[in-house]
Amino acid sequence: MFYHTSIFMSPLTVNSKSLHKPSLILILSMSLFLAQCVDLILQIIDPPEEFSGYVDRLAYSPGDTLRAYFSTDVTYDIARIRLYDLSGTPVDSIDAPLSSQIISNAQPWSQGLGYELTFRYRVPDLPSGIYLWEQTVPIVIRDHDGQLPIKVLYPSNTAAAYNNDGGKSLYPGNSTDQESADSLSFHRRVPLDPPALDCLMLFANQWNLEMGYLIDQDMDDFSNLEGAQLLIIIGHSEYWTRSARENFDKFVDAGGHALILSGNTMWWQVRYSSDGTRLIAFKTAPVDDIADPLLATILWNDPQLQYPIMPSIGVDFTHGGYGIRYEDAGWDGMKIIRPSAPYLDNTGLIAGDIISLPSSEYDGTEIAGFDSSGFPYPDSAALGFSSIEIIGFDYGFRIKQTVGTWIQFQKSESSGIIINTGTTDWCSDKGVGGLHGELLGEITFNMINYLLAN
């Protein structure tokens, strides 16, 4: 059972001439009293920290039916549950009973929490973007006709992979018994991914740009990219299916542009369960029970998969390595090599300037050597691209010294342009939300406009 936001009183059909004045006053008084009772029943949830839960799937198109599974510490006969945009403005609400829910599955990390249904909700025709139920439970609303020129890919797989709600994640360090899971349910309490958050806030609150938002599962269907000129990948977009990678390459090969504000990108192959409710990642080939060896959930650079990362995005984590995790010869930021790049116009940057950007992980391209200024230059012959330039770089470490690179390249003369910043923290509180955040925001805006104009 669920209740819509607006509760209307049934209209009274009366002949006012047949009623005495005291009767009219009585009816009006009773109506006012009933309206006040309705307001008392509809309790506003406060504070929102008491609110948690999940939805049946993360992304919806207008007109879809959303199923919500929510829990609070306090029981409400009927509560007004509000939907907010990222600016903190409520855009819609629904009235439904709320109470504390219990985890009912034995392996909730894989089977889901097993909450009871709170309500069903028909998704309205809101602008495409990220929204939050009670500023806590995220949902993504796609653009209604799929024709917006800019698509933003939210890293939903990474958010699920690192989350240990229910007891386990894909990492032993935050899993029960120090044993990671090989599959994770999307029916868990998974907040917005921190490495993507500051770009999401920037896009939502500061620029007058219409963007269509997608999640990782949407990349399995190429129709979600049709009509787009530019795909923006944000945050820490680490976990990709084969279909998603093939569709990315298809999009770029057909002339679509990509702006990658992410690092450690496309590092692991994953799959989804047949019903789409679980993320599958064994991470080792011998224990993966898939019949097709090309679908094994292992590192994309493993020769078994026959699909290395660098031909798709120009860089990989092997060559970029860790940033602030280890001591290295770098400066926790991007040292500018090519200040003449069109999107650096009017920034005042010159060669050798450093943009503060402390990064957890970098991606890097193939380096042929270093020039007399100590700047790396790419191995164009090994890469085989039509063109490639390094815009900026930093040193990292992974077994040995590595070089994280911010690059621009084209695979062929007819393919789209890819700008890849090669860092997990461009969109984090250390990047766009950090010391040089205003400058990084300006450059991000410039890169978007540059790619849209080409």
Q: What is the domain-level CATH number for residue 381? A: 3.40.50.880
Closest to 240 measured CA to CA, from 263, 217, 214: 217
Q: How far is CA 69 from CA 83, 240, 320, 424, in A?
A: 14, 27, 41, 31
pLDDT per position in the chain (454 positions), as tens?
A: 343 443 322 332 334 444 455 554 554 455 555 555 455 456 666 545 589 999 999 999 999 999 999 999 989 999 999 999 999 999 999 999 999 999 999 999 999 999 999 999 999 999 999 999 999 999 999 998 888 999 999 999 999 999 999 999 999 999 999 999 999 999 999 999 999 999 999 999 878 789 999 999 999 999 999 999 999 999 999 999 999 999 999 999 999 999 999 999 999 999 999 999 999 999 988 889 899 999 999 999 999 999 999 999 999 999 999 999 888 889 999 999 999 999 999 999 999 999 999 999 999 999 999 999 999 999 999 999 999 999 999 999 999 999 999 999 999 999 999 999 999 999 999 999 999 999 999 999 999 999 999 9
Q: Is the separation of the CB atoms in 189 and 165 below 8 Å?
A: yes
Dist CA 255 CA 413 (whole Å): 9
Instruction: Examine residue 263 and state whether it is found in any structural domain, yes or no.
Output: yes
- List the structure tokens of 281: 């990642």
Instruction: Examine residue 356 and state whether it is found in any structural domain, yes or no.
Output: yes
Dist CA 222 CA 310 (whole Å): 21
Number of domains in the chain: 1
Instruction: Examine residue 57 and state whether it is found in any structural domain, yes or no.
Output: no
Single pTM value for the model: 0.91
Instruction: Examine residue 165 and state whether it is found in any structural domain, yes or no.
Output: yes
Instruction: Examine residue 169 and state whether it is found in any structural domain, yes or no.
Output: yes
Helices vs strands, H then E, count in the chain: 9, 29
Instruction: Examine residue 229 and state whether it is found in any structural domain, yes or no.
Output: yes
Instruction: Examine residue 366 and state whether it is found in any structural domain, yes or no.
Output: yes
Instruction: Examine residue 120 and state whether it is found in any structural domain, yes or no.
Output: no
Structural domain containing residue 446: 138-452
Reported residue count of the chain is: 454
